[in-house]
Amino acid sequence: MVERLKVVIDKAACCGYGICADICPKIYKLDANGIVYVDDEMVPPGLEDGAQKGADACPQSALKVVPV
């Protein structure tokens, strides 16, 4: 069975740089205030690498991608 991944967001830590959304716009979105959100916390198959790269690029460490 393939391991599923979930995005965990610390909204209080997000400063709205938007790097995550630039790297993986299929996962990471920005609200009207520039704060990150996701439509679904579960990472769709095939987007695991992009989700991880987007999380790793966050200068505030507001994003984590964790196995479920």
Cβ atoms of 21 and 54 within 8 Å: the answer is yes
pTM of the model as a whole? 0.93
Task: For residue 43, give Cα distances in angstroms to 15, 33, 57.
Answer: 22, 23, 17
Q: Provide the 8-state DSSP code for 43.
A: P
Token pair 């299929």 is found at: 26
Residue 1: its pLDDT value, please?
A: 61
Residue 8: its pLDDT value, please?
A: 98
12-63: pLDDT as tens digits: 999 999 999 999 999 999 999 999 999 999 999 999 999 999 999 999 999 9
Amino acid identity, residue 54? G
- Beta bridge partner(s), residue 38: 28
* Pairwise CA distance, residues 26 & 13, whole Å: 21
